[in-house]
Structure 1
Amino acid sequence: MKQALEDIRVLDLSRVFAGPAGSMILGDLGADVIRVESPQGTDSIREWWPFVKNESTYYLTANRNKRSITLNLKNEKGKEIFLDLVKRADVLIENFKTGTMERLGLGYDKLQALNPKLIMCSVTGYGQTGPFAREPGFDPVLQAIGGLMDVTGHPDGEPTRVGVPVVDIMSSLYTAISILSAVRSRDFSGEGQHIDISLLDVQVSALANVASSYLMTNHISKRMGNDHGNIVPYQVFQCRDKPLMVACGNDQLFIRFCETLGHPEWSEDEDYKTNAMRIKNRIVLTEKIQNVMKEKNADDWFSLLSGKGVPSGPVNNIEDVFKHPQVQARQMVDEVAHPSLGKVKLVRNPILFSKTPITIKKHPPLLGEHTIDFLKNELQLSDDRIALLKEDGAI
């Protein structure tokens, strides 16, 4: 059975993570994704450490299931080839600074005139409008401006960046979701549209309960380390060997938790009986729990709490994650052949379809790996024409 997007062609001009990870999702779903870079390379992520035989593991993370061609969009012949590709494309993704596509003569109005069905998704730090529209935007900067860092970290510590590029990751999801929606809309209208994805918008939307607390009560949330501002106990406790996260999301779970710890009387104490009272008496209760938790290893507590249906889990390092029996049972690691690296291991797409399974059909491509083949077999250009284009700096 064909995958859902096998009839969709995507031109991917994006760089670094948010845009490329979004186009990778489309590639995983069957789309023909063509990375378009300059002959000298335009994606700085290729230069990010660590490396495997000169290939950036960061780049490998976001670029499977794509082909790569090189075109110089500042060269008239290169631009002509690109415009020819636009006529044949369904989707164009770009994440240049706002206004760059227009300066190149490749703004949406011009491209839509060539292809009225084209869906163009622009992914930028601050969006296409507003006083910051032309500012560069990178994930940690947006974590800072968007409030995430201020509510992350310990109360007496400094604001803390999330350990993965979470704004980029969320933006990649919105990129894919918006494009899928636009494709569906085009099924009805026959027309494409321009999508404006702002990393700042994405981050603000992800403030979730922190945002609603402020908007509805003027409460400004602050850093609480691993504690939760609205639920107790919902935090990390140090066990005999390592930390364990415990999440008692309601009073019934707290009762089971207390029984497991051998202190059922805590759940009957008026100071701790309800979540509201536990929040009020957080410090004293937390100290009592901590004194008990340090008596056993984290895995032992996990087994006991699991038997009572209380959500918990040890704080694993990355090696522990990939050795976890559930992660292994779900086969979260896949391998794909690579022209210079042999086989590379990648984290699989987390979506499991019953009829159209996702596979890694294409390795993350080398820069311009498919240029010659693409020009010859899809644009029907002769060897002589390709040689002239290369000599002219167009490819």
Structure 2
Amino acid sequence: MPADFREQHSRHDPKKGPLSRFTIIDASRVRAGPTAMRVFADMGARVIKLEIPPGAPGGDDMIGGRDHNRADYENLHRNKESLTLNMKDPAGLEILRELVTRADVFIENFRPDVKDRLGIGYEALRAINPRLVYASISGFGQDGPYARWPGFDSIAQGMGGLMSVTGKPGEGPMRVGIPIADLCSGHFCAQAIMTALLEREASGEGQWVQTSLLEAQIAMLDFQAAQWLVDGKVPQQVGNEHPLTVPTGVFPTKDGYLNLAAIGNSMFARLCEALGLQHLVGQPGYESDPARVENRDAVNEAVSEQFLTRTTREWTDVLIKIGVPCGPIYKINEVFDDPQVQHLGVAWPASLPGKGDVAFVGTPFRLSRYPRAEQPRLAPEQGEHTQAILNELGYSDQQIGEWRSAYVV
């Protein structure tokens, strides 16, 4: 096979982004893995997404597929290429091996036993390309008693403790309104891949990086986990309030709601002055965060009465000026109408056939020497780049046509 595949895509191209020298083979599905790959694709890496050939057994009917939710699919798979490939076929496996010899990263989220059965496990691909960074995302880890359990975001939220501390007291466990275990495991995986690529610059060797929905969810517990691991305290549900500081949370105003985070004694004192409640400062039961937590209902009742006297905007203007964190609570449409959100350019303009001018949520960091492209490349149609990629690898049009007929590609 020609060597120019790697030569064409291993050189840094500042016009394409800071990660343009990397080629990634994406064998992951659903959300966690594609989320990790979106980070690389947005930064210019060549991400080749593997899909099951049309008509082949075992076609993808999972949530997040192109026909299930076009908006979600476009947002998740922008800036990527699509290669249809049947890895269960010997010819398809041989094509994958050719790709791997030229790739920097391979990512998958098969159950641990499946990839070895297919012949695409870490050791098998490492033997082909010792510089390969092999990334795995699973539901519960690559080994252990739950290794073969199917992974799903809401299950990880429950087993990872998040649902036990989400929601109002006494109302039972509550799932978070986004697939946070999927998303966080994807971003942690991207960090791990970046780390391994940096290490490879020193050692010259790739390695196997792993994360799971369960581990990612537990990591996101943060101080809630520390309450148990360090202090032996089991955190409970507190609704919109903060478990360790009062007053925080959602308070009704004259025309809506205010989100408040008055943390610490000095901030509480400034809040009380703004509310005309100076007499509470230093009183028993109000003198510290721990005391206010013990006296939560009384503190909240006192400040709530005052918040009802003005609008959310009026209170926001007053409290921000004196350094008390607060803000409105938006519906999703209101988020993108906010002047600060518009100033930051969070929405990434795009043009979508059949819908016209739309936008996606851009990667939430920026680099001073690599401004974001004016528009992302739309998510690829299934197999859109199959012909071109296989031609790059040196396969003839005739051979590719035969493989299409046999559902190899």
Distance 1:48 1:140 in 2: 22
Distance 2:61 2:324 in 1: 45
Aligned residue number for residue 368 of structure 1: 383
Does residue 235 in structure 1 map to residue 235 in structure 2?
no
The percent identity for this pair of structures is: 38
18-27 vs 338-347, which deviates more?
338-347
Distance 2:211 2:395 in 1: 35
Which secondary structure does the structure 2 equivalent of 1:27 belong to? Answer: helix
Q: Deviations over 1:169-216 (max 9, x none)?
A: 111111110000000111111111111111111111221111111112
Structure 1 residue 12 displacement after superposition: 0.4
Q: 1:31 to 1:140 in 2, by over 3 A?
A: same
Aligned residue number for residue 36 of structure 2: 22
Task: Work out the number of aligned pairs and report it.
Answer: 390
Equivalent residues in 2 for 1:300-339, closer than 5 Å: 300-338=314-352
Distance 1:138 1:369 in 2: 29
Q: Deviations over 1:106-151 (max 9, x none)?
A: 1111111011111110101001011000101111100001100000
Aligned residue number for residue 86 of structure 1: 100
TM-score calculated relative to the size of structure 1: 0.95
Partners of 1:45 and 1:59 within 8 A in 2:
no
207-216 vs 17-26, which deviates more?
207-216
Structure 1 residue 4 displacement after superposition: 2.5
Measured on the aligned residues, the alpha-carbon RMSD in Å equals 1.7
Distance 1:46 1:149 in 2: 23
Q: 1:304 to 1:50 in 2, by over 3 A?
A: farther
Which secondary structure does the structure 2 equivalent of 1:44 belong to? Answer: coil
Does residue 106 in structure 1 map to residue 120 in structure 2?
yes
140-149 vs 294-303, which deviates more?
294-303
Distance 1:149 1:207 in 2: 11
Distance 1:316 1:327 in 2: 12
Aligned residue number for residue 150 of structure 1: 164
Distance 2:276 2:160 in 1: 43
Structure 1 residue 340 displacement after superposition: 6.1
The one-letter code sitting in structure 2 at the alignment partner of 1:209 is F
Distance 2:68 2:310 in 1: 37
119-128 vs 296-305, which deviates more?
296-305
Does residue 249 in structure 1 map to residue 267 in structure 2?
no
271-280 vs 183-192, which deviates more?
271-280
Partners of 1:22 and 1:173 within 8 A in 2:
yes
Partners of 1:15 and 1:43 within 8 A in 2:
no
Partners of 1:154 and 1:224 within 8 A in 2:
yes
Does residue 44 in structure 1 map to residue 62 in structure 2?
yes
Distance 1:100 1:107 in 2: 8
Q: 1:173 to 1:115 in 2, by over 3 A?
A: same
Aligned counterpart for 1:386 among listed residues 376, 395, 400: 400
Which secondary structure does the structure 2 equivalent of 1:109 belong to? Answer: helix
Aligned residue number for residue 195 of structure 2: 181
Which secondary structure does the structure 1 equivalent of 2:149 belong to? Answer: coil
Which secondary structure does the structure 2 equivalent of 1:258 belong to? Answer: helix
The one-letter code sitting in structure 1 at the alignment partner of 2:51 is E
Structure 1 residue 7 displacement after superposition: 0.8
Q: Deviations over 1:49-96 (max 9, x none)?
A: 874xxxx22222211111011001111111111111011100001011
Partners of 1:50 and 1:57 within 8 A in 2:
no
Partners of 1:117 and 1:192 within 8 A in 2:
yes
Question: Which runs of 5 or more residues in structure 2 are unaligned?
Answer: 1-13
Distance 2:399 2:94 in 1: 13
TM-score calculated relative to the size of structure 2: 0.92
Aligned residue number for residue 4 of structure 2: none
Distance 2:319 2:68 in 1: 39
Aligned residue number for residue 7 of structure 2: none
Q: 1:22 to 1:6 in 2, by over 3 A?
A: same
Partners of 1:37 and 1:43 within 8 A in 2:
no
Structure 1 residue 240 displacement after superposition: 2.0
Which secondary structure does the structure 2 equivalent of 1:162 belong to? Answer: coil
Equivalent residues in 2 for 1:215-294, closer than 5 Å: 215-294=229-308
Distance 1:342 1:110 in 2: 45
Q: 1:49 to 1:155 in 2, by over 3 A?
A: farther
Does residue 298 in structure 1 map to residue 312 in structure 2?
yes
Question: Which runs of 5 or more residues in structure 1 are unaligned?
Answer: none
